[in-house]
Amino acid sequence: MKEKFMENMMDKMSFGEKKEMMNDMMEKFFAGMTEDEKKELMKEMMGKMMGGGGADGKMANPMMAMMGMMMGNKHKKGDFNPMDMCKKMMAGMGPNRNTESFTTPEIQILFEEWARQMDSEVLGLIESAKEMKIDDMAAQLKISRDSLILFLNRLARQGKIDLKPTAK
């Protein structure tokens, strides 16, 4: 049922709308990942996506079918190349449109150092307090609530903390 809904929705979209939707989805998907996590995920995805072509020439792999549908079913015309698409995605994983105009390797290193320092401060605060609300933690660290959530998610991905909701 979901597949039918997506197919109907995609059929009504222009190529530009599909491309914009795909770019937005990918940007949101990769936003919270480190560069190493992105590269590892892309290697896994490539293996899965490149895994299937049936004897009749149709794509047996659902990921390939979805990619083809997102790109306007260009694969039917023979000009859809998933490897090219993945290369473009990998190339776009570096600086995004918000940072590319002012990010230099030196600034990236400084940012990573600051992020590691913030990780340590967040961990220290968690260890020192039995229970604390997110807004109180953010205020104590002098960062926004959203920034704190980013650091908490980052620490959870690294396995340094376990995020569990508590009952009120």
Which conformational region is residue 101 in: left (phi greater than 0), alpha (psi within -120 to 50 degrees), or beta?
alpha
Residue extents of the structural domains in the chain: 2-91, 105-157
Of the two residues 146 and 33, the one the predictor is more confident about is: 146
Residue type at position 99 = T
Tens digit of each residue's pLDDT (9 = 90 or more) over 24-69:
777 777 777 788 887 777 777 766 665 544 444 444 556 556 666 6
| pLDDT of amino acid 51 | 56
The average confidence (pLDDT) of the chain is 73
